[in-house]
Structure 1
Amino acid sequence: MNFRLVSSDYSKLIDLFGRVSGTVEPSYRYFQIYYRRGLKFFATDGCLKLEFSSSLPVDPFTGVYSVPIDYARALKSSDEKSFVSFSSEGETIEIKTDSETLSLQKARSDAIPAMERKFEFSSRFPLKEFNESLNFVSAASMEGDTVEIFSRGSETILAASAGRLVLLSILEYEPRTDFHFSLQYVTVRHLVKTLELLKTEELDAGSGISDFGLKAGSLLFSICTDETEFPKPPSFLFNETASGVGVQRKAFLSALRKITRLSRRGFSVLMISDGKKLKLFLKAGSLRYDCEIAVFSGEEFVIQVDPRKLQSALSRINDSLILLLMRKGNLLMAGKKSKKYLLIPLIN
């Protein structure tokens, strides 16, 4: 094996692999290099698997070389026009810059990383729009939760349940086949961070034998799926929201920032409408605190919500105006333009 990368490309690859593998499980913080119909790079978090097909001309070689990401990160250079060279001899791989050499012994294995590589791609999305939706619906979840991606007629739905919150985003791109995938929360967050780095404008999505597949240019993602079945979203979520009463998003975020300074993590607060004003209310021990969000001419209601989760979700809705309306025992908070929705049960 013998090839070299421009330093700026090397840095981008190391950052990409770092985001794929994450920091939750240190044993996955490495990337692999091998030849399979061309030069390939591979990284994983154990569920999310990425194979990058490089266009660099390289003579065929055997074996798979593993490099710890944190070791490779040490060779990143501020000189973007310099080169980083890779070479191997036996079980040893050597990575060199103009002034540094990293040599790793016993770095070679025989088995090419296993992953699904054949997918029936049935949907195409603008990458940025898809990632913003994925970022939104996973905003309030935690480890152990899942994020759902499924088809509904001419639309693709992304959804997640997080405590008392249900988050849903609609992508108006019609899939060619029906599908439903449940993705692990931790892997979804790794995917969101990874896609943020990409300059590719379009993203293809589809199904394999058991995995969910994504393709962005020369990057192929294979993502394991859970069998957890997400309850079918109520049909009223897809009805017209024009009857909702609008509240400025920045007013919500300002009030939530204040109340999160006073509440402990994991504590819930009340959001109350008396038909004239919309308020947040906190009671904790001897502390009583209420904060007016905005003048509000909608219906009276009371909901209980984790202010940090609500803040995280609302900060990811791009609309300046959030519409509030009652739907069958729930408060629906809707970003009409972005088609992002929050559903919270009312307190009777």
Structure 2
Amino acid sequence: MNFRLVSSDYSKLIDLFGRVSGTVEPSYRYFQIYYRRGLKFFATDGCLKLEFSSSIPVDPFTGVYSVPIDYARALKSSDEKSFVSFSSEGETIEIKTDSETLSLQKARDDALPAMERKFEFSSRFPLKEFNESLNFVSAASMEGDTVEIFSKGSETILAASAGRLVLLSILEYEPRTDFHFSLQYVTVRHLVKTLELLKTQVLDAGSGISELGLKAGTLLFSICTDETEFPKPPSFLFGETASGVGVQKKAFLSALRKITRLSRRGFSVLMISDGKKLKLFLKAGSLRYECEISAFSGEEFVIQLDPRKLQSALSRINDSLILLLMKKGNLLMVGKKSKMYLLIPLIN
């Protein structure tokens, strides 16, 4: 094996692999190099798998060379026009710049990484829009939760349940086949961070035997899925929201930032409408705190919520105005332009 990368491309690859593997499980913080109908690079977090097909010409070689990402990161250079060279001999791989050499012994294995490569691609999305929706619905979740992606008629739905919050985003791109995937929260966050780096504008999605496949240019993602199934979203989520009362997102976020300074993580607060004003209320021991969000000419209601989770979710809605309306015992908060929804049960 013998090839070289422009330093700027090397830096982009290392950043990409670092986001795929994440930091939750250090044993996955490496990338692999192998030959399979051309030069390939691979990284994983144990569930999310990425294979990059490089166009760099290289003679066929056998085996797989593994390189710890944190070691490889040390060779990143600010000189974008320089080169990083890779060579191998037996079980040793050597990575060189003009002034540095990283040599790793016993870095070679025989087995190619296992991942699905054959998918029935049925959906195509603008990558930025898909990733913004994925980022929104996973904003309030935590490790152990799942994020759902499924078809509904002519639309694709992304959804997650986080405590008393249900988050849902609608993508108006009709899939050719029905599907339902449940993705692990940690893997979803790694995917969101990875897709943020890509310049590709289009993302293709498809079904494999047991995994979700995503293709963005020369990058192929294979993602393991869980067997859980998200409850069917109520039909009113897909209905008219024109009757909602608008509140500026900026006012929501300002009030939520203040009340999170006074509440411990995991604490719930009340959001109250008296038909004239919208307020947040906190009671913790001897502390009582009330904060007016804005004037509000809607219905009276009381809901209980985690202010940090709501702040995280609202900050990701791509609308300056949030519509509030009552729907069958729930408060529905809607970003109408972006088709992003928050559903919170009312306190009777």
Fold conserved between structures, TM > 0.5: yes
Structure 1 runs (4+) deviating above 3 angstroms are none
CA distance in 1, matches of 2:236, 2:126: 27
Instruction: Provide the residue aligned with 1:39 in structure 2.
Output: 39
1:79 corresponds to 2:86? no
3-state SS, counterpart of residue 122 of structure 1: strand
3-state SS, counterpart of residue 78 of structure 1: coil
3-state SS, counterpart of residue 297 of structure 2: coil
Instruction: Provide the residue aligned with 1:149 in structure 2.
Output: 149
CA distance in 2, matches of 1:158, 1:303: 24
3-state SS, counterpart of residue 141 of structure 1: coil
After superposition, the C-alpha distances for 1:219-273 in whole angstroms (9 at most, x for unaligned) are: 0000000000110000011111000000000000000000000000000000000
CA distance in 2, matches of 1:92, 1:5: 19
By how many angstroms is 1:62 displaced? Answer: 0.5
By how many angstroms is 1:215 displaced? Answer: 0.1
Q: What is the aligned-residue RMSD (CA, Å)?
A: 0.3
3-state SS, counterpart of residue 118 of structure 2: coil
By how many angstroms is 1:22 displaced? Answer: 0.1
CA distance in 1, matches of 2:133, 2:310: 16
By how many angstroms is 1:131 displaced? Answer: 0.1
Q: TM-score, normalised by structure 2?
A: 1.00
- Unaligned 5+ segments in structure 1 are none
By how many angstroms is 1:21 displaced? Answer: 0.1
CA distance in 2, matches of 1:317, 1:219: 28
1:308 corresponds to 2:308? yes
CA distance in 2, matches of 1:171, 1:110: 42
3-state SS, counterpart of residue 291 of structure 2: strand
By how many angstroms is 1:326 displaced? Answer: 0.2
3-state SS, counterpart of residue 310 of structure 1: helix
Q: TM-score, normalised by structure 1?
A: 1.00
CA distance in 2, matches of 1:208, 1:109: 27
Count of residue pairs the alignment pairs up:
348
After superposition, the C-alpha distances for 1:298-329 in whole angstroms (9 at most, x for unaligned) are: 00000000000000000000101000000000
CA distance in 2, matches of 1:320, 1:242: 16
By how many angstroms is 1:32 displaced? Answer: 0.2
CA distance in 1, matches of 2:318, 2:191: 20
3-state SS, counterpart of residue 13 of structure 1: helix
CA distance in 1, matches of 2:236, 2:338: 17
3-state SS, counterpart of residue 140 of structure 1: coil
CA distance in 1, matches of 2:3, 2:10: 12
CA distance in 2, matches of 1:265, 1:307: 9
3-state SS, counterpart of residue 133 of structure 1: helix
3-state SS, counterpart of residue 79 of structure 2: coil
3-state SS, counterpart of residue 70 of structure 1: helix
CA distance in 1, matches of 2:155, 2:230: 17
CA distance in 1, matches of 2:207, 2:18: 25
After superposition, the C-alpha distances for 1:114-164 in whole angstroms (9 at most, x for unaligned) are: 000000000000000000000000000000000000000000000000000
3-state SS, counterpart of residue 178 of structure 1: coil
3-state SS, counterpart of residue 316 of structure 1: coil
Instruction: Provide the residue aligned with 1:221 in structure 2.
Output: 221
Matches within 5 A, 1:313-328: 313-328=313-328
CA distance in 1, matches of 2:327, 2:206: 33
3-state SS, counterpart of residue 46 of structure 1: coil
Instruction: Provide the residue aligned with 1:239 in structure 2.
Output: 239
CA distance in 1, matches of 2:161, 2:109: 41
Query: In percent, how many aligned pairs have the same letter?
Result: 95
CA distance in 2, matches of 1:51, 1:319: 35
By how many angstroms is 1:333 displaced? Answer: 0.1
After superposition, the C-alpha distances for 1:65-120 in whole angstroms (9 at most, x for unaligned) are: 00000000000000000000000000000000000000000000000000000000
After superposition, the C-alpha distances for 1:31-55 in whole angstroms (9 at most, x for unaligned) are: 0000000000000000000000000
Instruction: Provide the residue aligned with 2:50 in structure 1.
Output: 50
3-state SS, counterpart of residue 341 of structure 1: strand
CA distance in 1, matches of 2:114, 2:293: 52
3-state SS, counterpart of residue 233 of structure 1: coil
3-state SS, counterpart of residue 324 of structure 1: strand
CA distance in 2, matches of 1:109, 1:248: 56
